[in-house]
Amino acid sequence: MFERLVPAVLTESALQHLRHDGVQRGAIVAWLGHNSWDMLATLVACERIGAVLLPLNWRLAAPELAHIVEHAGAGHLLGTPEVAALAGDVLTAAALAAGPAQGVQDDDLLLVYTSGTTGQPKGAMHTRAGLQANAAAAIAAQGINARTRVLTVLPLFHMGGLCIQTLPALAAGAKVALHPRFDAVRWFDDVAAWRPTTTLLVPALMKILTEHPRWRDADLSSLQFVNSG
């Protein structure tokens, strides 16, 4: 199922990168960066190797990220150029694990940490089977098919941004437009030009959009539904 998520050329590039970095079965690969196809390709490559992807919240400070990296037992840190300085600070503060992480099972694929609102962030491991079941349920619940066009603006380090629409849409063969991060002007531009059929927004982003000067005259006719919560 996950092999079809991204173009093969991206997956092969990510796979070569992971192998060059010494990633082995059972290893945890931390990813720090804005939304990108490289991250999704790395998820697929981790599945191929038998490793686990750990998406990190780039809004956190380096000490917080270092705690997560060490707590998870991550042995590798990859990401996108725009957060290179933050990644460097994390590498300075954290001690990366050597070799596979303890307790990783064969079906484990994605490790996502909670926000830590009421305490230290806690890791939640997701298996391939669980992600596949979630994708199948999301496809059925939202009527996602090959004609669906998803505009993704929520961060992929959150389960909402990654698993409510993005992974299910790709698994169903739908088209996905991926924004590095939310930007109201770009959202209006893509809704007008790319004509998505659905998108996922949290209430705070909906407030930004409805209060934006372009809201009154925006053509939203392509949107069949908008998920929020």
Name the nearest CA neighbour of 71 among 102, 99, 46, 43. 102
Query: Is the separation of the CB atoms in 121 and 158 below 8 Å?
Result: no
Written as six digits, the tokens of 140 are 């059925």
DSSP string, 24-50: -TT-EEEEESSS-HHHHHHHHHHHHHT
| Angle 157-76-9 from CA coordinates, rounded to 5° | 70
pLDDT of residue 1: 60
The upper half-sphere exposure of residue 164, i.e. CA atoms within 13 Å in the direction of its Cβ, equals 20
CA dist list (Å): 102 to 47, 76, 120, 151: 18, 15, 20, 37
Predicted TM-score (pTM) of the model is: 0.94
- Tokens (6 digits) for 115: 């926000």
CB 126 within 8 A of CB 110: yes
Taking Cα atoms as reference points, which of 39, 64, 31, 49 lies closest to residue 104? 49
pLDDT tens per residue across all 229 residues of the chain: 667 789 999 999 999 999 999 999 999 999 999 999 999 999 999 999 999 999 999 999 999 999 999 999 999 999 999 999 999 999 999 999 988 888 899 999 999 998 767 778 889 999 999 999 999 999 999 999 999 999 999 999 999 999 999 999 999 999 999 999 999 999 999 999 999 999 999 999 999 999 999 999 999 999 999 999 7
What is the rounded radius of gyration, in angstroms, for the C-alpha atoms of the chain? 18
What structural domains and CATH numbers belong to the chain? 2-121 (3.40.50.980), 130-228 (3.40.50.980)
Map tokens 């496809």 to a residue.
Answer: 139
pLDDT (0 to 100) of residue 105: 94
What local confidence, expressed as pLDDT, does residue 5 receive?
Answer: 80
Token pair for 131: 């992600």
Report how many helices (DSSP H) and strands (DSSP E) the chain contains, helices first: 9, 9
